[in-house]
Structure 1
Amino acid sequence: MTVKVVLVDDHSVVRSGLRRLLESHKGIEIVAEAETGEAAYQVYGEIVPDVMLMDISMPGMGGLEAAKRILQRYPQAKIVIFSMHEAVSFASQALKTGVKGYVTKTGVAEDLVQAVLDVAKGRTFLSQDVAQKVALQTLIGESNPLQQLTSREFEVFRLLAEGKRVEEVADMLKISQKTVANYYTLIKQKLSVNSPVEMVRLAMKHGLIDAT
């Protein structure tokens, strides 16, 4: 049986590399590509692939938000998120959304193929580096305050912490500025942060943004 896959990444070079890698396995066929979360949502409905492989960081609606919307409309969707972020927070949010696989770009190429094949069969797949971090965090009982956030709050938090303005976040997530402001108030309460600086520090501590 051939696993039909849709690739979602905003870089055509990355998509062609992924296509070559995945199609080198005879059981995988790339049936479509998309370069934004919005396009991914539309393409999923038109094609209903076995697996959607999606980058987490894209302009506009990011991979997490797109995955959430797809899963709300098509609960049976099998989505693998692939990301340069090794932070546990990203993986945890993705899994909470209902994503079945999380692979880091720094991991081995075989991980991607394995993730697609496993998820197509209904299993969950995590890159080894992420799986170890998730297990370790659970083991030592380290509380991650970001776990309290819903996937939408997490996206708003991440974008604001990156330095985006309220109107930019509203535009990217296709929600009103008032809604973004309401989320900001909620996030500050949940995380006990009072200023943008504290928000950035927290995001850096949990690996959401680089400490550069």
Structure 2
Amino acid sequence: MDDSIRVMLVDDHAIVREGYRRLLEKEGGIDVVAEAGDGVAAYRLYKETSPDVAIMDISMPGRGGIDVIRQIRQWDPHARILVFSMHANSSYALQAFRAGAKGYMTKSSAPELLAGAVRNVARNRSALCPEISAALAATRLEEEASALESLSPREFEVLRMLLDAKSTEEVASALNLTAKTVANYHYAVKSKLGVSSDIDLVYYCMRYGVVSPLAEINPA
């Protein structure tokens, strides 16, 4: 009987997926059974293949990873999802866990940590790289950061897409929402973070590392 861990890879860069595949399959006992380059394909392939572990990027074109995690967990409450992201910010990790992820690793993590994280998540255990563990510990020491933690996964996903210069209409299309609903989320995010304008929203997110200094928000 084959006891290999069946893995689905989700990343919008094919070369990154190929690197993950080679790294994991070299370890032995891990088989990559599906690959997806966007959120829509990830959800479809998850339902088709039912992998033991889904390795999910957060920042992808269209529907982002956090929203896909939430969607998959609604379809399969026992889904085991490991986020592998370039974002080393505690806010992203908290939102991923809130959406239903079991682990969070940064792409700067040592390669040998990925296979161990996959095995932990397959056993329904949590997996955190040292970088995220330290970031989460530091977040607990900053009271103001709790405002970002108060955002729901959907609010955070709308915020992420707006910070990625997506228009209200583009966000609505990607998340299957109306433009009015997106505008309501946009307003709710600003209210929770205590900012009144999109410029203030960008500065706030820069302060807490949610967006790089060069990113710009696309006003609604």
TM-score, normalised relative to structure 2:
0.93
Question: 1:211: how far off?
Answer: 1.1
Q: Which of 65, 68, 82 is equivalent to 1:66?
A: 68
**Identity %, equivalent residues:** 45
1:1-212 paired onto structure 2 within 5 Å: 1-138=3-140, 140-144=141-145, 145-212=147-214
* Greater displacement, 109-118 / 74-83: 109-118
Q: Tell me if the contact between 1:53 and 1:82 (Cα under 8 Å) persists in the aligned partners.
A: yes
Structure 2 residue matching 1:24: 3-state secondary structure: helix
Residue of structure 1 in register with 2:218 after alignment: none
Look up the equivalent residue of 2:124 and give its one-letter code. Answer: G
Q: Deviations over 1:90-129 (max 9, x none)?
A: 0010111110010100111112111100000110001110
Give unpaired runs (5+ residues) of structure 2.
Answer: 215-220
Distance (Å, rounded) in 1 between the aligned partners of 2:68 and 2:92: 14
Question: 1:155: how far off?
Answer: 0.9
Distance (Å, rounded) in 1 between the aligned partners of 2:139 and 2:187: 28
Structure 1 residue matching 2:93: 3-state secondary structure: helix
Look up the equivalent residue of 1:58 and give its one-letter code. Answer: M
Structure 2 residue matching 1:207: 3-state secondary structure: coil
Distance (Å, rounded) in 2 between the aligned partners of 1:125 and 1:74: 20
TM-score, normalised relative to structure 1:
0.96
Question: 1:172: how far off?
Answer: 2.1
Look up the equivalent residue of 1:137 and give its one-letter code. Answer: T
Distance (Å, rounded) in 1 between the aligned partners of 2:203 and 2:33: 42
**After the TM superposition, which segments of 4 or more aligned residues of structure 1 sit over 3 Å from their partners?**
none
Look up the equivalent residue of 2:17 and give its one-letter code. Answer: R
Distance (Å, rounded) in 1 between the aligned partners of 2:32 and 2:160: 31
Question: 1:141: how far off?
Answer: 4.7
Q: Deviations over 1:163-194 (max 9, x none)?
A: 32211211222211011011112112211110
Q: Tell me if the contact between 1:161 and 1:199 (Cα under 8 Å) persists in the aligned partners.
A: no
Count of aligned residue pairs for this structure pair: 211
Q: Tell me if the contact between 1:158 and 1:203 (Cα under 8 Å) persists in the aligned partners.
A: no
- Alignment RMSD, CA only? 1.1
Question: 1:207: how far off?
Answer: 1.2
Structure 1 residue matching 2:27: 3-state secondary structure: coil
Give unpaired runs (5+ residues) of structure 1.
Answer: none
